Amino acid sequence: MADPVSEQLSDDLEFARDLAHRAGELLVDLRAEIGYADRWALMNAGDQAAQNLIADRLTRYRPADAVLSEEAPDSLVRLSADRVWIIDPVDGTSAYAKEGSTEWAVHIALWERGALTLGVVGRPATGEIFDSETATLEPVRHTGMRVVGSRSRATKFFRDVCADLGAEVVSMSSAGIKVLAVVTGEADAYLHTGGQYQWDNAAPIAVARAAGLHATRVDGREIVYNERSTSIEDLFICRPERVAEIEAAIRRHS
């Protein structure tokens, strides 16, 4: 009979879910242990502990693969690798260090020969894990249009597009948590401009695509991963039925 543990380690999606689960538990424990009095200490400890856990297991169980992580120096080896794990150990770091906030996530994505092949977004504060195999788009439960955007870095463009649409703006931390808000029907779209990196959106985009969401750059271009530049400045994630309306507003303000 197959050993369930070794099966879990050999299947990339199960391996990635397990990484997000382990890192999430560690981060929740650290919050309780360190407390919130010194936010920088908690942020640094969380980033470092989750990075170490994920990096150690990738080295041990996926030694041939390259890694791009927010918390490790970028190695250009990834540009000629067949498989690259794109990792954000804690997305929404400042929310992680805010007592009571659930707006922080663990991102694990895998890029293989030109495309993202899996993504896992863990929401450790609620114990949920979303992945690119099982994510399904839920119906909206609100009336009108809701657009989710950065809590701390909303741009004029974002505000102008939302005002044009007459949309309710919902501010949240973490790119992963914002994509989950669209997947779960809490918002119709997630619009971001002004800067972001591959690790901020790779896993969320894999989950968004699996759920059937529209996911492109703000100008409609495809989002391309494992480019030399780590930057992916802007994103437009949207329920299919709202794409045309929001794209028209984007064009009016571009």
Ligand X SMILES: Nc1ncnc2c1ncn2[C@@H]1O[C@H](COP(=O)(O)O)[C@@H](OP(=O)(O)O)[C@H]1O
Residue closer to ligand X by CB (options 35, 195) is: 195
Residue closer to Mg ion by CB (options 129, 145) is: 129
| 195 interacts with, out of ligand X, Mg ion, none, CB within 5 to 8 A per kind | ligand X
Parallel, antiparallel, or unpaired: how do β-strands 105-112 and 115-123 relate? antiparallel
In the complex, the smallest distance separating the C-beta of residue 150 from Mg ion, rounded to whole angstroms, is 11
Q: Which stretch binds ligand X (CB under 6 A): 10-18, 19-27, 136-144, 190-198?
A: 190-198
Chain positions 88 to 147 lying near ligand X, rule: CB under 6 A, are: 88, 91-93
Residue 152 in the binding site for ligand X (CB under 6 A): yes
Q: How far is residue 164's CA from residue 97's CA, in Å, rounded to a whole number?
A: 34
Residue 174 in the binding site for ligand X (CB under 6 A): yes
Q: How far is residue 139's CA from residue 133's CA, in Å, rounded to a whole number?
A: 19
Residue 234 in the binding site for ligand X (CB under 6 A): no
Residue 150 in the binding site for ligand X (CB under 6 A): yes
Residues lying near Mg ion in the complex (CB under 5 A) are found at: 88, 91, 200
82 is in an annotated binding site: no
65 is in an annotated binding site: no
- Strand 105-112's sheet: what is its strand order? 66-69, 83-91, 105-112, 115-123, 128-131
Q: What is the DSSP string of 19-74?
A: HHHHHHHHHHHHHHHH-SSSHHHHHHHHHHHHHHHHHHHHHHH-TTSEEEETTS--
Asked whether 253 and 222 are in contact (CB, 8 A), the reply is no
14 is in an annotated binding site: no
Residue 173 in the binding site for ligand X (CB under 6 A): yes
Say how many residues make up the chain: 254
47 is in an annotated binding site: no
User: CA 78, 79, 81, 83 torsion: positive or negative?
Assistant: positive
Residue 184 in the binding site for ligand X (CB under 6 A): no
Q: Which stretch binds ligand X (CB under 6 A): 110-118, 129-137, 194-202, 245-253?
A: 194-202
Query: What three-state secondary structure class fits 4?
Result: helix
| 114 interacts with, out of Mg ion, ligand X, none, CB within 5 to 8 A per kind | none
Distances (CA, A) of 14 to 6, 11, 50, 81: 11, 5, 18, 22
Annotated binding-site positions: 70, 88, 91, 200
- Interface residues toward ligand X, by CB under 6 A: 70, 88, 91-93, 150-153, 173-175, 194-196, 200
Annotated binding-site positions for Mg(2+): 70, 88, 91, 200
